[in-house]
Structure 1
Amino acid sequence: MKKISTILLFSFSTLNLTAQSFIQAYQDRVNLLKKEDIISNLKEFEKLGVKTTGSVENDNALKWIKDKYLSFGYSEDQIEEDPFSIGRLKSKNLIITKKGTVYPDKYVIICGHFDSINGPGVNDNGSGTSIILETAKILKDIPTEYSIKFIHFSGEEQGLLGSRHYVNDVVYKDKTRQFDIKMVFNLDQVGGKKGMFHDTVFCDEDQGGTSKNNAASTQVTKELMTCTTLYSPLQAKIDPAEHSDYISFEKKGEVITGFFEYLRSDLPHTEDDTFANTDTQYIFNIGKATIGALQHFAVANK
């Protein structure tokens, strides 16, 4: 989960953003997203229990996610389990790779964590998990110029353990960059709170850390804002990127952005972070924005 408070908030109108045009083919795929599939995923995620890193429930959640990809038609060769341990904690990340047609060795990463603490974590982060799953399903057979890695991290709630391991020991194995990353698109806590009016999403911009990637992050975040308003009914505002899995990449100089709920729920990390307390329409709308944005970043067939 991210920070407790936001210091700098900046909003930008669509007119001030980069000149991205609406693409009907992208919208047609966005329209394939079904709210009932989001709801089904969230209910199943809730039933898996408290997914503390190292627990049986956490292992079961990873298997549930993997089985979803297999049911979508992804092959075993596209799916990689990435085990890691921190002290006595043992867990796994899950990475699914979809190869690009023009730049197969350059990757757009879309990621979010699936572990939770104290409760089932339907908002934090079943919401992001469900959206990534549905995005992967819809785009499975859509050619994209850049390769895509759909990554589900464990260990986020204990201090970005899974993403830190993946970045340090896989992406930068032996301190050498193993593959080229175009950008990282993170989804964390995008479920809102039932009963609140959710018409806006935060787009996370790198405003600190390794300064060499700040300008590029600013650009992709502006593009994310534009995609949000083009392909979903949501408004977009800027939020500083903090304390979620993209930070592990940011520390190595990678370009990052992401979604985070605008009106902050107080239920994550509690037993009340449940389906009943989550705004499924908000998740559905952020799902639309995500599918539109990922097509833009990976340059999907038009």
Structure 2
Amino acid sequence: MKKLITTALCIFGLTSSDAQEFIRKYQDRANLVSIDRITANLKSFEKLGVKTTGSPENDNALQWIREQYLSYGYTADQISEDPFSIGKKKSNNLIITKKGTVNPDQHIIICGHFDSINGPGVNDNGSGTSIILEAARILKDVPTDYSIKFIHFSGEEQGLYGSRHYANEVAYTGKQRNIEIKMVLNLDQVGGKKGMFNDTVFCDEDQDGTSKNNEASTRATLELMKCTKLYSPLKAEIDPAEHSDYISFEKKGEVITGFFEYIRSDLPHTRDDTFANTDVRYVYNIGKATLGALQHFAGASDK
């Protein structure tokens, strides 16, 4: 067991979760997460309608997300699209790259999907989309050792089409790696069940990959849990990683983890997945946990 854990640590290159320490500057930035901005983003996301992949509403959602990044000061050369098709339907993933200062060729990916089915998808996954936007806004001018890719995937609800295309055609060509990925942090359905006491979040652990993947993911997930407790008021529990965009990367051998709501709402994929049925305070608290974790994983400046 000691040998396996040591190997995972070498692969993942992170310190033990027991060695993680509270960093005041990380908390200061986590405290910059704005519940008002999250509220506004969720309401705007709702107004964009049912974002079925290949629909005009889906295209409008992508353009809305792009406009948010431009408003934060990201430049056109930091923003790219990855087009893909599902039969005759065409869509795009949106990728925003923030370069690291020490290891710019190694990337932390933070991702979530923006497509929805049957309803506006405010929980699944306007919640994850809004948190990624807040993380990008707050960290815009913060130096990080590693590069960060903020990725918004389409085609998730139909079967991970967008993330699979990006993993297989952009990050890799066959078995050839085109992008060095340090880890993948996925946010999907983190809006909570309205009216419940949402004080806990699931941290997703890879339990289906190779032994090498699983050991490294376990370490990453323990660190995610520790960051959650350090930088947010939430408690954290482990949940198996499944049925979301990080699986496309797991199949390529990458280290994955992520957030998912603890008390599961039954409204996603229905017309009632709306702002009124989403726990905004819960999204805000997961946003704070995400800011703490992303700074930790990306090696953000503590100054």
Is the pair's TM-score, using the shorter chain for normalization, greater than 0.5?
yes
Matches within 5 A, 1:102-141: 102-141=102-141
Matched with 1:288 is 288
SS in 2 for 1:195: coil
* RMSD of aligned alpha carbons: 0.9
CA apart distance, 1:174:
4.2
State how far apart, in whole Å, the 1-side matches of 2:212 and 2:221 are: 15
The answer to whether 1:255 aligns with 2:234 is no
The one-letter code of the counterpart of 2:259 is: F
Matched with 2:63 is 63
Matched with 1:40 is 40
The answer to whether 1:83 aligns with 2:69 is no
Matched with 1:8 is none
CA apart distance, 1:281:
0.3
Matches within 5 A, 1:108-187: 108-187=108-187
CA apart distance, 1:18:
2.3
State how far apart, in whole Å, the 2-side matches of 1:251 and 1:211 are: 13
CA apart distance, 1:179:
1.6
State how far apart, in whole Å, the 2-side matches of 1:50 and 1:216 are: 37
Contact map agreement 1:210 1:251 (CA 8 A) in 2: no
Matched with 1:4 is none
Q: Deviations over 1:245-288 (max 9, x none)?
A: 00000001000000000000000000000000000000000000
The one-letter code of the counterpart of 1:147 is: S
Matches within 5 A, 1:136-285: 136-285=136-285
The answer to whether 1:301 aligns with 2:301 is yes
CA apart distance, 1:25:
0.5
Q: Deviations over 1:140-177 (max 9, x none)?
A: 00000000000000000000000000000101124310
With the length of structure 1 as denominator, give the TM-score of the two structures.
0.94
Gaps of 5+ in 2: 1-15
SS in 1 for 2:177: coil
SS in 2 for 1:158: coil
CA apart distance, 1:209:
2.6
Contact map agreement 1:146 1:299 (CA 8 A) in 2: yes
The one-letter code of the counterpart of 2:172 is: Y
SS in 1 for 2:185: strand
The one-letter code of the counterpart of 2:44 is: E
State how far apart, in whole Å, the 2-side matches of 1:126 and 1:193 are: 14
Gaps of 5+ in 1: 1-15
Comparing 169-178 with 220-229, which one deviates more in the overlay? 169-178
State how far apart, in whole Å, the 2-side matches of 1:48 and 1:18 are: 43
SS in 1 for 2:51: coil
State how far apart, in whole Å, the 2-side matches of 1:87 and 1:268 are: 24
The one-letter code of the counterpart of 1:21 is: E
State how far apart, in whole Å, the 1-side matches of 2:174 and 2:222 are: 34
State how far apart, in whole Å, the 1-side matches of 2:219 and 2:209 are: 16
Matches within 5 A, 1:20-31: 20-31=20-31
State how far apart, in whole Å, the 2-side matches of 1:32 and 1:216 are: 30
State how far apart, in whole Å, the 1-side matches of 2:122 and 2:204 are: 21
With the length of structure 2 as denominator, give the TM-score of the two structures.
0.94
SS in 2 for 1:49: coil
The one-letter code of the counterpart of 1:290 is: T
State how far apart, in whole Å, the 2-side matches of 1:149 and 1:18 are: 27
Matched with 1:49 is 49
Runs (4 or more) in structure 1 with deviation over 3 Å come to none
